[in-house]
Copies of this chain bind each other. A is one copy, B any other.
Amino acid sequence: MSNQELVVLGQDDGDPACCPGLLTAPLDEGQAVELAKVFKALGDPVRLRLLSMIASRAGGEVCVCDLTPAFDLSQPTISHHLKLLRQAGLIDCERRGTWVYYWLVPEMTDRLAGILTRPAGDPLPDRTATSAGAAS
């Protein structure tokens, strides 16, 4: 049940300056496609709320039975959204008896945070004296 996530961004090959970055170099097609799947999973209010409910849970995990009643949506719909979050590698789950518990995969959110972080002393070109100077 826990073996279906995307392997996206899977290379953590010891590179200290991990994650090419999105903000530092142009993504190639393949990277963009994989990354887009994860961001797309975050691109829905219901899934964002589900993720935040799961991530902020004290014990680290939540029973589906606690998630479903928090929404004005049918149980199959919630189940579907949880599946998408899981396929994106953002959460994982396990069945224990009658109930299924979900928890955050912090490695994935860490990775996204890293991808969206620009290198420390980035120029940050002051947008005040925009003169000519570029392209074509």
A residues engaging B (CB < 8 A)?
A: 21-29, 32-33, 35-37, 39-49, 51-53, 55-56, 59-63, 65-66, 94, 96, 99, 101, 103-104, 106, 109-110, 112-114, 116-118, 122-125, 127, 130, 132-136
Closest 7 CB pairs of A and B: A40-B43, A60-B125, A63-B135, A39-B42, A32-B45, A113-B116, A23-B55
- Bound-complex Cα distance A47 to B52 (A): 25
A77 to chain B, nearest CB (A): 15
Query: Taking chain A's interface residues, is the majority helix, strand, or loop, or is none over half, making it mixed?
Result: mixed
User: Using Cβ atoms and an 8 Å threshold, which residues of chain B touch A44?
Assistant: 36, 40
User: Using Cβ atoms and an 8 Å threshold, which residues of chain B touch A62?
Assistant: 134-135
- B52 pairs with A22, CB closer than 8 A: yes
- A56 pairs with B25, CB closer than 8 A: yes
- A66 pairs with B130, CB closer than 8 A: no
